[in-house]
Chain A
Amino acid sequence: MTNPRGRFGSHGGQYIPETLMNAVIELEEAYNRYREDPEFQRELTDLLNNYAGRPSRLYYAAKMTRDLGGAKIYLKREDLNHTGAHKINNVLGQALLAKKMGKTRLIAETGAGQHGVATATAAALMDMECVIFMGEEDTRRQALNVYRMRLLGAQVIPVTTGTATLKDAVNACMREWTSRIDDTHYCLGSVMGPHPFPTMVRDFQAVISREIRDQMQELEGRLPDAVLACVGGGSNAIGSFYHFIDQPSVRLIGCEAAGRGIDTFETAATVNVGRPGIFHGMKSYFCQDEFGQIAPVYSISAGLDYPGIGPEHAWLHDIGRAEYVPVTDDEAVDAFEYLARTEGIIPAIESAHAVAYARKLAPQMAKDQLMVVTVSGRGDKDCAAIARYRGEDLHE
C-alpha cells in the first residue's frame, strides 16, 4: 500500500531539514525492527489492554438509531480509553519504541490537549521526561488539559508565534527536535509529518478498525456499510478506516472541521478548500494562499484546527476511496448536545463532527444497513467552551 520512503500516491515523503534526517532514518529502522518483534508486540498489547483499557466497546446506539430512522448506528467508544481519547493508542506505541531506542525524553505538540495528556501519561508511566508544546490560544481554550499535563509531570510550553494554535505547536516541536535529538523522541500525535510517522502512527491506531471488524462480525456477522470519523491530521480516522480500505463495500467518510463554513475564510476543511503543498515534512493537501503561505485556519475544535491532513487521507481522497465532508461549528455543537441527550454520551467536540454527519447520513440509509461512528474522545474538556458558545457565562 505504501511505496518506499512513505509515499501514498504522490503524497507523503520526508521534507525535513538535513539535521533531522538521521533521526527519522534511525526511527524508521527501529520501527521496522520492533513491529516484527513478538516481545515488543506483547508488551504493547499488554499496555493497550491492561493500562489503556482496550478493546474499546462497539456500542449499539439504539435510541439514536430509532430517532434518525435509518441505518443501525454503532459507536466505537474510543472515549472510554484511559486518558479519554484514541490518542493513547499511538502514544503507548511510540513511547515504548522510544524507550527501546534509548531515548529518555518525549516532546509533543498538542491542539485540544488530548495528545499532550496522553504523552504526559506515557512519560509518567515509563519514567521519561516530557515537554509539551501547545498554542497559547489553545492553552486558554483547553485550560483543564494544561493542568492535567502538569499534574502528570510534563512541562507545558505555550507557543505564541503565528496563529498560536496547533500548526504553530508543530513548528515549535520541529524546532525543538532539531536542537536536541540525541535523547529526545518527537512523539508526533497524528498521521502526519515526515515518513515514518504517517505509517507508524496509522499502524498504532489501526487497532481501532481491527476491533470494529471483529466486533461487528460478532454482533452482526458482517462488515459495516459505512464508517465515519472526524479528521484533523486524521489519526482516529485512518485508524477507523485502515482494515476496511481493501473492502470496497464499506464507505469511509472523514468529517472535516468547516468552522463557520467552507465558503468563509474561517474554516479548517483541508480537503474541501486546500490544494497540494509541502509542509510539516510531507506532501499533502494544505489550506494556503496563492503564494503557498499557510493559511490561518479556524474551527471551534482545537484538535481539528490544523491547515493540513495526513498524506494517506490525501491519497484516499485522490483515488476516491474515502469521502471527506465538511461539518460546521454549529452542526458539531448541535451534535455534541444531541449525543449527550440521546445516548447519555458527551463526545469530544472533535468527535461531534462525525456524529453531526451521522445525523445527516443515517436517515438516507436503509434500516438493515450498518453505520459505525468513531467517538474519538470524551467531551468533558469541551463543556465550558460549549456553554460559552451557547451564551452561558461559565468559566473553569
Chain B
Amino acid sequence: MSNLAKAFDHGKAFIPFFTCGDPDLATTAACVRAAVENGADLVELGIPFSDPTAEGPVIQEASLRALKGGATTDRIFDLVRDLRRDVKVPMVFMTYANVVFSYGAERFISTCARVGIDGLILPDIPFEEKEEFLPLCRQYGVTLVSLVAPTSANRIAMIAREAEGFIYIVSSLGVTGTRSEITTDLRSIVREIRATSSVPCAVGFGISTPEQGRAMAAVSDGAIVGSAIVRIIAQYGTEAPAKVGAYVREMKNAVIGN
C-alpha cells in the first residue's frame, strides 16, 4: 500500500507545494519544516523546470528564480535527504517528464525511493503515457499519482480504476494560480471516482483562502495549495518560514472544518 495513504489518516488533508530552491534550498527546507510542524499532511516538492507549461505566472517565476539560484535535481535530492532526518509525513515530487527522463528514469526513481520520496506528480504524463515511468515506479515503490481534470468526462472511471496513492483533482481549466472562484462541479467528479476507486481525492489549482480550502475539502479528502504559498515565499524570502507556518495552520484548520 502506498505511503501516501497515511496523509489522509488524520481527517481531511492539507497539502502544501514548494518550488525547491526559491529563493534558496535552505529556505525551502525551513518552510517545509514549518509547514509540517503546523499540520501539513503531505508535502509536494516542486523540482523546477525551465518550461513549466502547466503553471501560471507565480510558479513559472519561482521556477526560474530557483534555476537561476542553482537548484538542480541532485541538490534537491540532497534537500530531501536532509528533510528526512526529521520529517515523517509523506513527500512527493511534482515536476515535468523531462526532468525524470533526462536524469535517467531508473536512476531518478530509484534515488527517489532511497532518499524517501513517496510519489511523483507529473502533469505532462497522462493516463495514456504512464507506462513511460509506471513499471519503474512500481519496482521501487514510488507512487505515480493520477490526475483528473474538469475536462476528463468519460475518462474518469478509466483513470480512477488504476489510480494509486491519491487522485489529484484539477479544480479548474487552465494553469496553476489563485482564482477568485472555482465553478467546476467537483462533487460529481468525486462521485464518479468513488464509483470505481477508494483511493483518497485531493483538489488543487486555484485554492488560496481558508474558505476555498474548506469548500474543496468538504467535497473531497483534502486540499492542495501551491501558488498562494509560493507567493508568500516570493514576498518574504528567507523570512518566509514563519509566515508559511502560520498560513498552513490556518488552512489546515479550515480543511478539517474548524
Binding site for B on A (CB under 8 A): 5, 13-23, 161-162, 167-168, 171, 174-175, 178-181, 275-281, 283, 286, 288, 290-294
5 A-B pairs with the lowest CB-CB distances in the bound complex, closest first: A292-B102, A179-B174, A19-B149, A278-B97, A293-B50
Question: What are the interface flags for B143-158 relative to A under an 8 Å C-beta threshold, 1 for contact and 0 otherwise?
Answer: 0000111111111000
Binding site for A on B (CB under 8 A): 49-51, 53-54, 56-57, 60, 64, 67, 72-74, 96-103, 123-129, 132, 147-155, 159, 170, 173-175
Please list 12 pairs of residues, one from A and one from B, whose beta carbons are closer than 8 Å in the complex, sorted by A's number.
A15-B129, A17-B126, A18-B127, A18-B152, A18-B170, A162-B50, A162-B51, A179-B173, A278-B101, A279-B97, A291-B102, A291-B103
Contact check, B174 vs A17: say whether CB atoms are below 8 A apart: no
Contact check, A19 vs B98: say whether CB atoms are below 8 A apart: no
Contact check, A16 vs B126: say whether CB atoms are below 8 A apart: yes
Task: Give bound CA distance, A174 to B101, whole Å.
Answer: 21
Contact check, B51 vs A171: say whether CB atoms are below 8 A apart: yes
Contact check, A279 vs B98: say whether CB atoms are below 8 A apart: yes
Task: Give bound CA distance, A168 to B60, whole Å.
Answer: 12
Q: Chain B residues with Cβ under 8 A from A280's Cβ?
A: 53
Task: Give bound CA distance, A3 to B152, whole Å.
Answer: 25
Q: Chain B residues with Cβ under 8 A from A279's Cβ?
A: 51, 97-98
Q: Shortest Cβ distance from B152 into chain A, in angstroms?
A: 6
Provide the main secondary structure of the chain A interface: mixed
Task: Decide: A278 near B124, CB < 8 A? Known: A22-B152, A294-B98.
Answer: yes
Q: Chain B residues with Cβ under 8 A from A175's Cβ?
A: 53-54, 56, 174-175
Contact check, A277 vs B98: say whether CB atoms are below 8 A apart: yes
Q: Which chain A residue shows the least CB distance to B173?
A: A179
Contact check, B148 vs A178: say whether CB atoms are below 8 A apart: no
Contact check, A179 vs B151: say whether CB atoms are below 8 A apart: no
Partner of B124, one of A15, A286, A291, A293: A15
Contact check, A17 vs B147: say whether CB atoms are below 8 A apart: yes
Task: Give bound CA distance, A179 to B174, whole Å.
Answer: 4
Q: Chain B residues with Cβ under 8 A from A18's Cβ?
A: 123, 126-127, 147-149, 151-152, 155, 159, 170
Q: Shortest Cβ distance from A66 into chain B, in angstroms?
A: 47
Beyond the given A18-B126, A179-B173, please list 7 additional residue pairs across the A-B interface where CB-CB is below 8 A.
Answer: A17-B123, A19-B150, A21-B126, A168-B51, A175-B175, A278-B97, A280-B53
Task: Give bound CA distance, A366 to B74, whole Å.
Answer: 54
Contact check, A19 vs B173: say whether CB atoms are below 8 A apart: yes
Q: Shortest Cβ distance from A23 into chain B, in angstroms?
A: 7
Interface centre among B50, B74, B123 (most CB of A within 10 A): B50
Q: Shortest Cβ distance from B127 into chain A, in angstroms?
A: 7
Q: Chain A residues with Cβ under 8 A from B73's Cβ?
A: 291-292
Contact check, B53 vs A171: say whether CB atoms are below 8 A apart: yes
Task: Give bound CA distance, A43 to B102, whole Å.
Answer: 44
Task: Give bound CA distance, A292 to B97, whole Å.
Answer: 9
Contact check, A14 vs B128: say whether CB atoms are below 8 A apart: yes
Task: Give bound CA distance, A178 to B159, whole Å.
Answer: 19
Q: Which chain B residue shows the least CB distance to A173?
A: B53
